[in-house]
Amino acid sequence: MKGKDLLSVNDLTVDEVYRIFDLAQQLKARQKKGEPHHLLKGKTLGMIFQKASTRTRVSFEAGMWQLGGTALFLSASDLQIGRGEPVKDTARVLSRYLDGIMIRTFSHAEVEELARYADIPVINGLTDYLHPCQALTDVFTVVERKGRAKGLKMAYVGDGNNMVNALLHTCAKVGMDISVATPPAYAPNPQVVLEAKAAAAEQGSKVMLTTDPKEAAVGADVLYTDVWASMGQEAEQAARKSAFAGYQINEALLKLAKPDAIVLHCLPAHRGEEITDAVMEGPQSAIFDEAENRLHVQKAIMALLMGD
Active-site hit among 134, 203, 248, 298? 134
User: 3-state class of 102 per DSSP?
Assistant: strand
Active-site hit among 50, 226, 296, 298? 226
Residue 50 catalytic?
no
Residue 104 catalytic?
yes
Active-site hit among 169, 240, 265, 294? 294
Strands laid side by side in the 177-181 sheet: 207-210, 177-181, 153-157, 222-225, 262-265
The candidate with the shortest Cα–Cα distance to 149, out of 116, 173, 114, 119, is 173
Q: Binding site, residues?
A: 53-56, 80, 104, 131-134, 162, 226, 230-231, 266-267, 294
Q: Binding site for L-ornithine, residues?
A: 162, 226, 230-231
Q: Binding site for carbamoyl phosphate, residues?
A: 53-56, 80, 104, 131-134, 266-267, 294
Measured at the CA of 146, the angle between CA 142 and CA 151, to 5 degrees, comes to 85
Strand bridging mode 262-265 / 177-181: unpaired
Report the C-alpha dihedral over residues 192, 142, 137, 265, rounded to 10 degrees: 80
Residue 266 catalytic?
yes
Residue 265 catalytic?
no
Active-site hit among 5, 99, 108, 131? 131
Strand bridging mode 262-265 / 222-225: parallel
What is the spatial distance between Cα 119 and Cα 97, in angstroms, rounded to a whole number?
Answer: 11
Neighbours of 239 (CB within 10 A): 13
What is the spatial distance between Cα 303 and Cα 308, in angstroms, rounded to a whole number?
Answer: 8
Backbone angles phi, psi at 126, to 5 degrees: 155, 135
Residue 294 catalytic?
yes
Residue 134 catalytic?
yes
Cis peptide before 268 (omega within 30 of 0): yes
Close Cβ partners of 131 (under 8 Å, ≥ 6 residues apart): 124, 162, 163, 165, 166, 266
What is the spatial distance between Cα 187 and Cα 241, in angstroms, rounded to a whole number?
Answer: 16
Active-site hit among 5, 50, 66, 104? 104
Active site members: 104, 131, 134, 226, 266, 294
